[in-house]
Amino acid sequence: MNNGELNGKQVPILSELEDYVSGLEKFEGEFVPVYYSYGALDRALELSSLADKSYQFLKEFFKTDIEIATLVLNLGDWEKRNKEYPYGGVFAGRGCVHFPSDVETPFIQAVMPLYDHCPQNLKASLTSLMGYEDKAFRHACQRLIDLLMVHEMTHAFADKERVLFGQNWFSEVFPQYTEYAFLKRHEDENSRDLRIFEIVLDIFYEGGKPLIKYRSLEDFETLYFGVGPLNYCWYQGKFVKGVIELYRKYGESFIDRVIETFKVTEDSLVRKFDASCEGFHKWFNEWKKESEQ
């Protein structure tokens, strides 16, 4: 069986995932197919457009095609396929980006304390943006969940191209950067999405300050998801603050630089070793030639 790699795990590639998507309806997007639960066609169509735009954007930088699908699942279909992530927490795995078909999910309820504890000026900014106060944060979070398409696809592209960061915190900073760059590129046609991203992540950061236990990159590196959902969202807010600063300086070129720096190929690996171990390149060429005879 041919295998791909996603999030460090060997998994069957999409063409061999018929069993995983069995029982779902299918909509064939221009670049990314969408599998969805019965009754979720409207949401599948909405996410299909975002999936195709995200795919085109990332392919421009990674310069490769990958096999990936979008899954739009109700609670029952979600639990059949996943026990690790709570319903509503978007994630990439098994060659698919998984989304809830429902807009009201336990995930949104779980992050409400971040809004409750954020400064009033952020609440006012969100109310002004959304045009109403009642459920403004909930509706903004619903849209933020959709916008995670770019973030999660970045993980999949990076895995396919073996762009290996070695640090958990940077493996999250980079997808936040690509998401922000995507929103900045499309700012003229949809400035509201960019503002939702900026304000909600700022709410995560400021509102989480009185609630969190862990603040250092070392803590995140050691615990990762183990920091807990509120603390994890706080870290994402912290990452986005840094991302915005970096984008002001480097723009989209930062994406190219990251891929170039962290993409592991045979040539880059050998050159790196040869710089610190003189003669490694010569040994490698002879050893490789001998092993291929």
Q: Are 271 and 258 contained in the same domain? A: no
Confidence check: pLDDT of 277 > 80? yes
Q: Please report the pLDDT score of residue 291 as a whole number.
A: 75
Which among 64, 70, 66 has a CA at the least distance from the CA of 49? 70
Q: Are 172 and 287 contained in the same domain? A: no
Q: Are 233 and 285 contained in the same domain? A: no
Rg from Cα positions in the chain: 21
Q: How many domains in the chain?
A: 2
Q: Are 33 and 165 contained in the same domain? A: yes
* pLDDT tens profile 149-179: 999 999 999 999 999 999 999 999 999 999 9
Please answer whether residues 275 and 198 qualify as being in contact, where contact means their C-beta atoms are separated by less than 8 angstroms. Answer: no
* pLDDT tens profile 41-86: 999 999 999 999 999 999 999 999 999 999 999 999 999 988 788 8
Q: Are 52 and 164 contained in the same domain? A: yes
Q: Are 92 and 234 contained in the same domain? A: yes
Pick from 12-21, 80-89, 106-115, 259-268: least confident: 12-21
Distance CA 90, CA 9 (A): 18
Range(s) of the domain holding residue 285: 266-293
Q: Sorting pLDDT into bands at 50, 70 and 90, what band is 4?
A: very low
**What is the value of pTM for the model shown?**
0.90
Q: Sorting pLDDT into bands at 50, 70 and 90, what band is 223?
A: very high
